[in-house]
Every structure is written in structure tokens, then in C-alpha cells.
A and B are shown apart, each in its own frame.
Chain A
Amino acid sequence: MNQIAIKMLVGDLAKYFGILLGIGFAALLITQQSSIFTGLMSRTFAFVDDTSLPDLWVTDPEVQYLDELEPMQSTALDRVRGVPGVAWAVPMYKSLLRGRLPNGTFRSVIVVGLDDATLIGGPPKMIEGQLGDLRRSDGVILDEVSANTRLNSWSAYDADGKPAKDATRIPMKVGDVLQINDRRAVVVGLCQVSRTFQSQPVIYTTYSRALSYAPPERKQLSLILAKAVHGVDHGELAQRITAATSLRARTKAQMSWDTVMYYVKNTGIVINFGIAVLLGFLVGVAIAGQTFYNFTLDNLRYFGALKAMGGSNWLLLRMVLLQALLAGVVGYGLGVGAAALFGMRVQGTELAFRMTWHIPAISAAAVALICALSSIVSMIKVIRLEPAVVFRG
């Protein structure tokens, strides 16, 4: 009877596509919105991902997340280096400073100061120039996307200082000079970095030069990047550093998670995306449920005939469940497939999209729930159906 159940479903193409549309749209919306949410959240710790070499991130104990760093005294570095199990530890400066472009406009930029000696913590990929070029006088390295967009200048400006109508974009390039807090900075290279949550330009330089850009403060050490001795557990070493120095030491995963959770707790992003996902789910239940119920109603006389001819309730339920399962699997495939295509199309654009394996799994669970809710009403109808209905015309 399985084949007959399937033919009953796919034989009525209009209703079948209606059910697929409901489930597929729900799967698309749930998968796409969850992937954009995950993409955005991934951007919050993109800097941690890009800085692959260190195992541990040490900050002031009050720091909650990566984008709000409380500076530490420079002596903290030596204290961390003194903890057993630490192979090496280097300083890093990271702060939002004001940059002035060659055309006179100002931009907030993330300045990252790397250890002068080792340049550990540098960008993951150089597009032009070399990391070592940072040792040249006033040298800075820009992220390529920002050099082409936010830090660009224009070929012509109107009287108000805005780009002229036919002006073309002139990307910032190696050799260009900008000012950071009124200090000269010469572009010596372009790099590729993961996009950050705030999408601000990232400028790499040496630690000592970054301090010269920064406003004078008593404490200026933003981060300490540390490497564990081979074989030492990172989590245990983080606890050891915290115990020995009273600083906050986190593994890479912990640092990323702290940052994500800060945004989750302190912004409305989860509610906003949650509403979109919930809407997708509700639309799926409404469309798929209604269409599936109508489909069952239309077939009620045939279910009644089957019941009269010896079809048990269990057999008919199996048929309804099989129909729901088939519609669910096909609808899910269409929806998640469409979301994946969307993700491929927006790769490399401003839009954040990251589909981890969890997201299709969550969508599958949601679709299963939609199908279950949709079919329950139909199943109740079939169970309560009196076979004598077949003689009532």
C-alpha cells in the first residue's frame, strides 16, 4: 500500500506542489535566516579565527568580549610568560582609532599592533607586500576590502566635497599615506581578513607604532597572545594563568564563545532572527498543514473505502505518515537546497552567510515538526472516519 499512498500524494500535482511549497518555504526561511545569523555571529570572532597561531588569549579580568578590551599594565606580559606551561607570550594592541584619509575624510579603523620582534598575530593572508614590511618606517597593512571600499577616494568631488556624479572609485594602495590620530601611516601592504561584525577597516602595524598612534594612557596592553607548551591542555593552562596572574585567560574557543554570547545577551539580534525563523516555521505549518489537511479531506472517501475493504486504522495512519514523510523530505531538500544556492551566490559579499552542519539538522527537525503537526489533524480525521461513510454518497 506504500506505493498507492505515494501515488495518491503525487497524483494530485496542484496539492502536492502546495504542500512542497509550504514545507520548502519554511525550510528555506529557517535555513537561510539561521545561516545569516550564524554568519553574523561568526564575524564577531572573525579576528580570533584569523589569528591562528596562539592557543590562549589573555585579557584584563573585566573584559567580556573581544571588541571591548580593557588595557592591562605592560608587566602583565612578563607574569604570563612566567606561568609554567606557557611556551611563549606576545603583546597585542587592538583598539578603534580615528584615521584620516588622503582626501581629508575620517574613518574609524581597527588598529592592531603586532609584537615588534615576531609579528605574531598578523593577517591570515597577504595580497600585496609582506608582513615584514611593517618594519619599514610608518608602515601599516590594510585589509583589501576596506582599501577598495571604505578607505577609497574618488576621482572627482563636487562643490560640497561629495563624490561627483561620474566619479570613479580609487582604492587605497601600497604607498598611499593616511593619518591615524595625526600620526603618519604609510601603506606597505594589503591583506585579506575575515569580515568583522562592525565591518570597520582593519589596519595592522607593529605594537610600538600602534602605541604611538593611540592616545596616551597609563595602561595600553590590550591582549596577550600565548602559546601552550606541546602536550599541555589549553583549558588547564588557561585556568593556571588566571590563578597565577588574576588575568582572564581564555582558549580560542572560549574567547569566540564569550564574544558571541556578549552579542546574544546584549543586542536584539537573537530576537530579530528568532522572529524570522519562527515566522518561517509558522508559515510552513500554516501552508503545509492546511494543504495537507485539504488533501486528506479530498481523499477521505477513498480512505473510507479502504477502511471498509479491510484497511486497519494502523495501515491508513502509515499511509498518511508516509505521505507526510515524503512531502517533508522533498520539501526539505528543496528548501535547504535553495538556501545553499543562496549562500553560494552571496559568498564574498557584505552579506554574512555561514551554514554549519547544525543548521540543516535544525531545519530538518523543524520540518519534521511541521509534518507531524500537519499530519496529526489528518490522522485524527482518518482514525475517526466511519467506514459506513462510503455508502453516504
Chain B
Amino acid sequence: MAEPVRLAVATDGVTKVFGRGGNAVHALRGAFLEVPYGELVMLVGPSGCGKTTLISILAGILDRTEGRCEVLGVDPQAMSQGALTRWRGQNIGFVFQQFNLIPTITVAENVAVPLLLQGQARRRALAAAEAALERVGIADKRHSRPTQLSGGQQQRVAIARALVHEPRFVVCDEPTSALDADNGQLVMELLAEIAVQGDRALVVVTHDSRVFHFADRIVRMDDGRVVDTRTQIADRTARQHSESP
């Protein structure tokens, strides 16, 4: 008998309305999404279709208006503000379009931030940050400032920061849109290799069709709804092998 699929994310009928009355904007109109552990899911669709709103709700940084939403087995909206903040700090990794690396601190300190926010000692946090930088291949840049790095390097730092505290769910907002084609490929390779290792799930919002082939599934959104879910390649290992020269 086949083992039931374990879901990292399960939403149904999620709506989000910004504003009230005549000024109300319906960003989500009943979105349905399921993301199993170990999957890299890409959310695609035209601008304003609700992709960013949906991942904000999934990451627990925005409240939904209606619907059901479970992430890693809990409903983020049901938690108190303090508990939600702690839950985010321990379980969610973020990769932003504009990196959001603090320019006045070193690369290693930037990567250590999620651990420092959890109250971990500075020395231990920096050691873990250096290990994370090693994984993304830029450990030699640990003492540099983010502004001294290229866009691709900065995004790799951001990935190291997103993964340093071993989150079980990673959300990425347009991680390749600020990068050239080569760097975009490199960043997605890293995300595909590292982010979904183990008991982890990854949702990537992107417009960049050049990186679609990294997805396990592509979820197309339009007008606040999920309109199409397409499983691309069931087995990542198979895909990686098929892509090997």
C-alpha cells in the first residue's frame, strides 16, 4: 500500500481582501495549494495575480481574510503574535528579490541573523553561518560587505541566510529576477539541491521561465486563484541525471 503524501502546506479557499467597501482589493479569491515535503513548487502567473500575497500568508507574515491554511501542521493565524514570530524564526526561510542583506555588516553576520534573532550566542551563530556559506560556495567572502559582492553572490548569501537555521519551509520571491541568466541558473541549482533536502519544502514565486525546469510542480495563478497545477518531473534525481552531460 502506498504511503500517504505528507503535506508541508495545505490551503483551501484562501481569500485576502485589502481595504474595505468600494476600495476593497481582492488579492486572493479562494486559492487552493498543496505542497508535499521534499518538493520545489513554483508559483507563476501575471503580475498582480496574488502570488506574493499567497506566499506571505504561507510564511505567516500576512493574515488571510477567509479559508483554511495549514503550514507545517499548524495554522499560523491561530497563533499569538509572539508564538507566530517564534514559529517563523524557527521554521521559515526567506529569500527576497532584492536580497535585503544589511549593507553595514559582514556577509557572515548577515547569514547569522536568523540564529541571532533566536537568541543563539554570537560565536555559535557565526560558526553556523560560515558552514552555510561553505554550502553555497562563498565561504571566502564571509568577511566582505554585501555591497562588495556581485548580484549572484549576494543572492547566494541570502540563500545561506534562509537555510542557516535549518527551516522546514522556504519561501522565495523572484530569487532570480535581479540576476543574469548564468547567475539565475546557479542560484536555482543551489535552491533545488539544498533547500529541498530532508524534510523540507520550497515555494518559489517567479516570472523567470528560464528556471521553470527546476520545479517539481508549477502552479499557475490568475486573478487570485490557482488555475493550473502541473507536475513536471516526479523524480528530481532522474531529472538531474537526465540533465547531466
A386-B62, A388-B61, A390-B61 in contact; A11/B103 too (CB < 8 A)? yes
Contact of B61 among A1, A8, A315, A387 (CB under 8 A): A387
Interface status of A159 (Cβ within 8 A of chain B): no
| A310 engages B114 (CB within 8 Å) | yes
Q: Which of B28-36, B81-89, B189-197, B226-234 contacts A (4 or more CB under 8 A)?
A: B81-89
**Considering the chains assembled together, what is the distance between the CA atoms of A9 and B161 in angstroms?**
22
A310-B88, A310-B114, A312-B85 in contact; A305/B100 too (CB < 8 A)? yes
Interface status of B94 (Cβ within 8 A of chain A): yes
In A74-111, which residues have CB < 8 Å from any B CB? Answer: none
| A386 engages B61 (CB within 8 Å) | yes
**Smallest CB gap from B52: residue in A:** A391
Report chain A residues within 8 Å CB of B181. none
**Considering the chains assembled together, what is the distance between the CA atoms of A386 and B100 in angstroms?**
15
Contact of A4 among B59, B98, B105, B118 (CB under 8 A): B105
Residue among A307, A310, A315, A386 having the largest count of chain B Cβ atoms under 10 Å = A310
Interface status of A302 (Cβ within 8 A of chain B): yes
A310-B90, A391-B52 in contact; A11/B104 too (CB < 8 A)? yes
Interface status of B78 (Cβ within 8 A of chain A): no
**Considering the chains assembled together, what is the distance between the CA atoms of A7 and B105 in angstroms?**
6
Contact of B118 among A7, A8, A310 (CB under 8 A): A310
Contact of A8 among B85, B89, B104, B122 (CB under 8 A): B104
In A230-268, which residues have CB < 8 Å from any B CB? Answer: none
**Considering the chains assembled together, what is the distance between the CA atoms of A11 and B106 in angstroms?**
11
Contact of B97 among A1, A311, A386, A393 (CB under 8 A): A393
Report chain A residues within 8 Å CB of B103. 11
Report chain B residues within 8 Å CB of A311. 85, 89, 117
| B102 engages A302 (CB within 8 Å) | yes
Interface status of B216 (Cβ within 8 A of chain A): no
Contact of B94 among A7, A312, A390 (CB under 8 A): A390
Q: Mark B158-171, 1 if CB is under 8 A from A, else 0.
A: 00010000000000
| A390 engages B96 (CB within 8 Å) | yes
| B89 engages A310 (CB within 8 Å) | yes
**How distant is B14 from chain A, measured CB to nearest CB, in Å?**
15
B contacts, CB < 8 Å to A? 52, 55-56, 59, 61-62, 82, 85-86, 88-90, 92, 94, 96-98, 100, 102-105, 109, 113-114, 116-118, 122, 161, 173
**What would be 9 A-B contacts, judged by CB atoms less than 8 Å apart?**
A4-B102, A4-B105, A4-B116, A12-B104, A299-B102, A301-B98, A307-B85, A310-B117, A390-B96
Known: A7-B105, A305-B94. 16 other contacts (CB 8 A): A1-B116, A4-B109, A4-B116, A8-B104, A11-B104, A301-B98, A307-B85, A309-B114, A310-B88, A310-B118, A311-B117, A387-B61, A390-B61, A391-B61, A392-B52, A393-B98
